[in-house]
Amino acid sequence: MIQRVRSNCGSREGKWVGFIILSILAFAAIAIPYHQADSGLQTVEAHQVLITDVDQENLAMIAELRLAHEEIRDLYAESKELSVNEHQTWPAIESLEAEWIAPFVKDQSWKRKGEHEWQSVSTGLYLGFPRHLDAAQPILLDSRTSAADIWIYASDSEQLESKLVAFEFDEDSLIHQGWKQIVMVADDKDTHSH
C-alpha cells in the first residue's frame, strides 16, 4: 500500500501569518492619526512673553512673586476661617511686609531689585513700581486665580503712573496699555509665538 503524503512546507501557515501582519499594519495606518498624543506646543500671543525671554533683573522678582502668590492665597483662605461673618479679605501690603513675604519686605533684596513701591490696586491685585529705572520693571500680580498671573510693563515706565488714574485692571485694558503677561513654560514642551 502506497500513500501519498504532501510535504509540509508551511505555505498555508505562512499565508495566514502574512495576512495577519498585513491586517495589523493596515489597522495601525488607519488608527494612528486618530490616537496622537498632545503635541506639547504652547502658543504665545502678542500680549504675552515667555519666562525664558524675560530679562535677568525681572526673573528674580517673578520667582518671588510666584512664591508670594501662594502665601497670599493662604492668607486669604485663613481670613475666612478667622472672620465671624464669613467675609474673606485680601492681605494688605503692610501685612505682607509684616509677614516677611518677599518681594514686599524692604530688605537688601528689595533694594537690589529696584526698591519697588507696592500697592494693592484692587482685590487680589498687587502693583509694584521701581524707584530705579535700571532695576526690575513695573510688575503686577493677580492673585485672584489659583495660578499666579503676573504681568510686566514693557513700555516706558515713567509715563505709567499717569495712565493708571481710573484704570480698570482687566486683561483688555492691560494689553491696551502695553503690559505683557508672563507665560510659564513647562520643561518638556516646545513653544511657538504668533
Lowest mean pLDDT among 5-9, 68-72, 100-104: 5-9
Alpha helices by DSSP H, the chain: 11-31, 56-82, 93-98, 108-112, 160-163, 171-177
For residue 67, pLDDT over 90 is answered with: yes
Per-residue model confidence as pLDDT tens digits over 136-174: 788 999 998 888 899 998 776 555 655 555 567 788 888
pLDDT in tens, 38-52: 656 567 788 888 888
21-25, 28-32, 95-99, 113-117: segment of lowest average pLDDT: 113-117
Instruction: Tell me how far CA of residue 172 lies from CA of 59, 152, 155, 160, in angstroms.
Output: 24, 14, 16, 16
Amino acid occupying residue 171: E
